[in-house]
Structure 1
Amino acid sequence: YISDARLVHYEPEIRAYIAQGAKDLSSIMLRPSSAELLQRTMTSPVACTSVVTGIVWFLMSSAVERDQGFVEGSFICRDPHKRLASYFQLIGVSRISSHLKRHSGPGCTGGIDLVACSEVPPLPYGHRHILFIAIEGNRFRESCLFLKPERHGVASLSDKFFHVASWTRSMVNRCLGLESSRVDGPMRKERIPTQLVQRFGELVSYDTEGPKVLAEVGCHNAGEGIACMHAYLSQRVKDLDFDKDHALSPFCAFLELLESTYDFVAVRFGNEVFIDLMADVSIASTKVSV
């Protein structure tokens, strides 16, 4: 992954930052207070960039271990005690975003601009801003933190213009029924897969609960996505006796498709990288690779 991102000359520094990111995440997630880390982060923009870069590289390392590295994409991190969300809210600035608007409340969306400096290795593929969204009390996910590395922040007018132009282009493509522009490499975004929603809609079209469930599943970046599909299908299979109801077989087939295609299928929106931080941080000291 480091080679593909053309960062081989930074490899020793990146590996050191992955290890430091694991330690910092452990400090945030496993302790009631991370005052020392917060103080270190707030020292200067470079210090903040250093800590956040380590955290993001650790998350990417976890993704790469599962063959889920990306050029563009997002992470959703299980954050049961809201400690990671609180940390990012303390060091970031408030901003708006079109991502997961249905799942975020006031003050839950922010961003962190990373400064370019020789002391800190860059993030892959030109990313220099981290969008974060705290998700609280979700039916399928409880408390999580959404993190998305981006190439443009919100500090300058050119950055803001880029976001507006990208959103406008996306809306136009959606209205015209066109695919969003692709990037040259893997994407792991939280968008709910359109083709999967269409197939699911056909499957539940004869169910009296079908329209309600389909509305809850949603599409694009609005709705509960794959987690809702999985919950519905699991309950459907449980409630009906497969041996006595041959019509149930398509439900079983679709359920098997979801479970064989995605990890953390019961909690995901779309194709994002889902990170169980408590588990990943606990083994980080023995498994760090990119």
Structure 2
Amino acid sequence: MHLKGKGKLLLIAAALLLLPAGLAACGKSSSSSAGAGNKAYTPKKLTVEFVPSSNAGTIEAKAKPLEGLLKKELGIPVTVSVSTDYNTIVEAMGSKKVDVGFLPPDAYVLAHKQYGDKVLLQAQRYGVSEPDDKTTKKLVNYYRSQILVRKDSGIKSIKDLKGKKIAVQDTTSTAGWIYPAVEMLKHGVNINKSGIQTVTVKGHDQGVLSVYNKNTDAAFVFQGARKLVMNDEKDVMSKVVPIYTTAKIPNDTITVRGDMSSKWQKKIATAFKNIAKTKKGHAIISSVYSHEGYVDSKDSNFDIIRQYDKQAKQLDK
């Protein structure tokens, strides 16, 4: 009995000695499975989404051929679709329903903050001269926002916008809300408190038309937006004029969901740059967004947007 008892004690001691090793093994197994859960995303098919700057139906039809060009570059099926607004794309990317978003700067900053989405590229456009909106021959990585009014409205400055009706884009639109609203505030006019009524419209062409048709007194649009409606309204340039042009805004982004593998980030960036250099591809991106090509980008390029976002919070105080 004594030897049996001693044997039991030895077995217990041995078990206790083995316990830490067993727990370490369990811990290692647990962390390994967590690592597997965090595996970088490799798409089997790619979903691309954007918000049109003008007529949604027309733009979606123009963008559809991009599917085939991307499929050829990437070797996987691609779906290109139009969203109603930038918030919808940001949320869709956050919930892993969309892989690639054409996002303006403010929407990108939001997507990066909330979901860790990553900017790959910035668009290049030809510059725009003032006040005639003529296209220059210089490629730039920025654009500007304008506040438009009817020439016969009697509105000459930002201070004249008090008590007026303004057509705007959604609140994540850099040119259609953030920049002009913040710069108005710097001139002593709070768009939320100065008796101003805002009307949200879908597309910068609709902003121009709302002023042209006297449905609103003013509109926030990107510089050059009047040219979107010139085919239908030949006299738009003389009847609708800018009273204010903002500081430079970083150009639109091509952004991917935050868990995209670095390998696929590079593949997607290369694909868009290659497509932009082809005759067919350039025609698509030019007609859809006035993009002329793409250059590599980085998050710090959008610190200026974060500054404007902080200032925009003053609008509600």
TM-score by length of 1: 0.21
Over alpha carbons, which structure has the higher Rg?
2
The answer to which structure has the higher strand fraction is: 2
